[in-house]
């Protein structure tokens, strides 16, 4: 790969002026737009099963599966991708630090695009038996490995190209790819349910082939990102000027004495982020709306779309405000809001949902207060690691905290033995809020960190 990429310039010291002269505003915007598009497709593929397969889950499952078993199976389909991401972050993070952000982005996006198309071609339980579900989970895991490489390279390149005073805004724009993807998935599912009715169980048009179209589209979108990315986005100047990029064992450096402290601290913060995300739109909320609030599939998708529109604003607003308040203060504030107001609104949603408008308002408040803090993730993690290991540090620290919260379906089954099932998401929100606050207080303020520094 080194030969294909050609000779790289040797490292030398450089000032802010040197860097700004080499990174134009146009290139910075291109990197951010491309990272947003890549993250949109990433999240589109990650959360396809949460909404698209929810009405067609029986296609991959035996008819005698209980409701609790179905919930666990559904969570494992999502968890498979999220468990593959840490492995992808380790592999592609090290490759990105060694060979560059741009080529690794291209390889990663192509990989998960192919996996998504293959998922759309799978037969169901009636044809392959339990192997249909196993194959789906396996493809989700492999796709997760490639997904772990996309944000590990593209998001880091965007932050290294961004002016310090705009890192919060650009981070929010990139992370907004998640709610935008959710909106697209929900809208597409709503359309598919209109065109391909779900009435008729396993023989219904949606269960047989309607769910496949969003998967095919997800694969096509991945390749649509690659084409302009190849020609419009330049390699990171910071990475190009880092001398140790071609020799260092980045994973070993990540876990040395100094960086290990940074890693543990951000893992605590991100575990909190993921707990609250999974408790809301990213995992449990769609099922809660159907199982306990008794919304139909179409009404559920409408609620999720509206909540995701509001979340898009939150994802951009919260990190932008952190340029004023500081990252740490904003993270602590959002953790408090999630654990208090967000939890209370969730409680009202499952105990006294009321009209459709009330359900929509409560769901939107829950989603915004529990999830908006994740908009800070891209800038915050990049500010915690030096250039030489930034892709490795960002990728592993972003993906590793997913592992424990991703098994929320298992915890939900266990918690249902001691509390009413509709209250299990509230526990996840409270735990997430506490971890977010504690993790943020463990670390320093990072807003003014110089990304070209060799230490943070």
Q: What is the pLDDT of residues 368-413, one digit of tens each?
A: 999 999 999 999 999 998 888 888 888 888 888 877 887 777 777 7
How does pLDDT run across 407-435, given as a tens digit for each residue?
777 777 788 788 888 888 888 899 999 99
Q: Which CATH superfamily groups domain 25-442? A: MFS general substrate transporter like domains (1.20.1250.20)
pLDDT at 451: 81
Average pLDDT over residues 252-256: 81
Q: Which residues contact 447 (CB under 8 A, 6 or more apart)?
A: 168, 322, 323, 326, 327, 383
- Give the phi and the psi of residue 50 in degrees, each rounded to 5: -60, -40
Rounded CA gap, 397 and 251, in Å? 12
**Distance between CA atoms of 229 and 447, rounded to whole angstroms?**
28
The secondary structure of 218-276 as a DSSP string is HHHHHHHHHHHHHHH-PPPHHHHT-GGGGT--HHHHHTSHHHHHHHHHHHHHHHHHHHH
Provide CB contacts within 8 A for 338, sequence distance 6+.
Answer: 276, 369, 370, 373, 429, 432, 433, 436
pLDDT at position 362 is 95
Q: Are 342 and 366 in contact (CB under 8 A)?
A: yes
Opening angle at CA 55, ends 52 and 59, nearest 5: 95
What is the structure's pLDDT at 248?
A: 60
Report which secondary-structure segment, H or E, holds 223. helix 212-232
Least confident residue range of 26-30, 168-172, 189-193, 440-444: 26-30
Count of other CB atoms within 10 angstroms of residue 24:
12
Q: Are 74 and 316 in contact (CB under 8 A)?
A: no
CA distance 389 to 377: 17
**By the 8 A CB rule, do 113 and 223 touch?**
yes
253 alpha carbon, distance to own chain's centre: 25
* Tens-place pLDDT, residues 9-66: 333 444 444 445 455 677 788 888 888 888 898 888 877 877 788 777 778 877 777 7
Any idea which of 194-208, 211-225, 364-378 has the lowest mean pLDDT? 194-208
Per-residue model confidence as pLDDT tens digits over 91-123: 888 888 888 888 888 899 899 899 999 998 998
Of the pLDDT bands very low, low, confident and very high (cuts 50, 70, 90), residue 247 is: low
Which range among 40-49, 281-290, 447-456 shows the weakest confidence by mean pLDDT? 447-456
Q: What's the CA gap between 367 and 426, in Å, rounded?
A: 13
- Burial class, 445, CB count within 10 angstroms (exposed 0-12 / middle 13-18 / buried 19+): middle
Question: What's the confidence (pLDDT) of residue 313?
Answer: 95
Residue of 6, 7, 33, 95 whose CA lies nearest to 225: 33
The answer to whether 348 and 438 have CB atoms below 8 angstroms apart is no
What average pLDDT does the segment 194-222 reach? 84
Q: What is the model's pLDDT at position 227?
A: 83
Q: Is pLDDT of 447 > 90?
A: yes
- Cα–Cα dist 55/58, whole Å: 8
What pLDDT, on the 0 to 100 scale, is given for residue 4?
30
398 touches 82 (CB < 8 A): no
In this predicted structure, the answer to whether residue 257 has a pLDDT above a threshold of 80 is no
Whole-prediction pTM value? 0.78
Statement: residue 178 has pLDDT above 80:
yes
Looking at the predicted structure, is the pLDDT value of residue 315 above 90?
Answer: yes
- Count of all residues that appear for the chain in the document: 456
Between 185 and 311, name the one with better pLDDT.
311
Angle of helix 177-195 relative to helix 297-325, nearest 10 degrees, comes to 170
């Amino acid at each position: 790969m080194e030969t294909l990429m050609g000779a790289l310039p040797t490292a030398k010291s450089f000032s802010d002026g040197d860097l700004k002269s080499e990174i134009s505003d146009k290139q910075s915007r291109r990197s951010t737009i491309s990272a947003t598009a890549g993250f949109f497709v990433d999240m589109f593929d990650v959360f396809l099963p949460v909404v698209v397969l929810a009405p067609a889950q029986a296609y991959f499952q035996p008819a005698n599966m209980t409701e609790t078993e179905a919930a666990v199976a559904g969570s494992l389909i999502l968890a498979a991708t999220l468990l593959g991401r840490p492995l992808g972050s380790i592999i592609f993070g090290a490759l990105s630090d060694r060979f560059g952000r741009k080529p690794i982005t291209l390889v990663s996006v192509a990989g998960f695009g192919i996996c998504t198309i293959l998922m759309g071609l799978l037969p169901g339980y009636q044809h392959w038996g339990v192997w249909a579900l196993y194959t789906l989970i396996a493809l989700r895991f492999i796709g997760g490995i490639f997904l772990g490489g996309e944000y590990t390279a593209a998001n880091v390149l965007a932050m290294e190209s961004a002016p310090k005073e705009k890192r919060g805004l650009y981070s929010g724009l990139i992370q907004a790819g998640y709610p935008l993807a959710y909106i697209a998935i929900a809208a597409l599912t709503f359309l598919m349910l209109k065109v391909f009715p779900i009435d008729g169980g396993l023989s219904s048009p949606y269960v047989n082939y309607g769910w496949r179209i969003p998967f095919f589209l997800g694969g096509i979108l991945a390749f649509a990102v690659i084409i302009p990315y190849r020609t419009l986005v330049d390699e990171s100047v910071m990475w190009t000027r880092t001398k140790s990029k071609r020799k260092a064992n980045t994973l070993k450096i990540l876990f040395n004495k100094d960086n290990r402290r940074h890693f543990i601290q951000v893992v605590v913060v991100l575990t909190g982020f993921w707990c609250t995300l999974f408790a809301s739109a990213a995992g449990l909320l769609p099922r809660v709306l159907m199982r306990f609030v008794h919304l139909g599939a179409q009404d559920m998708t409408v609620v999720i779309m509206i909540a995701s529109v509001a979340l898009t604003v939150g994802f951009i607003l919260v990190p932008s405000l952190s340029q004023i308040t500081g990252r740490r203060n904003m993270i602590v504030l959002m953790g408090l809001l999630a654990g208090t107001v967000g939890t209370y609104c969730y409680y009202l949603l499952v105990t006294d949902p009321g009209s459709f408008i009330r359900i929509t308002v409560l769901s939107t408040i829950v989603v915004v207060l529990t999830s908006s803090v994740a908009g800070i993730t891209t800038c915050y993690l990049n500010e915690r690691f030096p250039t030489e290991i930034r892709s490795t540090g960002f990728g592993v620290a972003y993906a590793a905290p997913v592992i424990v919260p991703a098994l929320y379906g298992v915890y939900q089954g266990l918690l249902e033995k001691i509390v009413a099932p509709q209250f299990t998401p509230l526990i996840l929100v409270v735990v997430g809020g506490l971890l977010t606050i504690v993790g943020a207080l463990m670390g320093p303020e990072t807003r003014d960190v110089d990304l070209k520094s060799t230490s943070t």
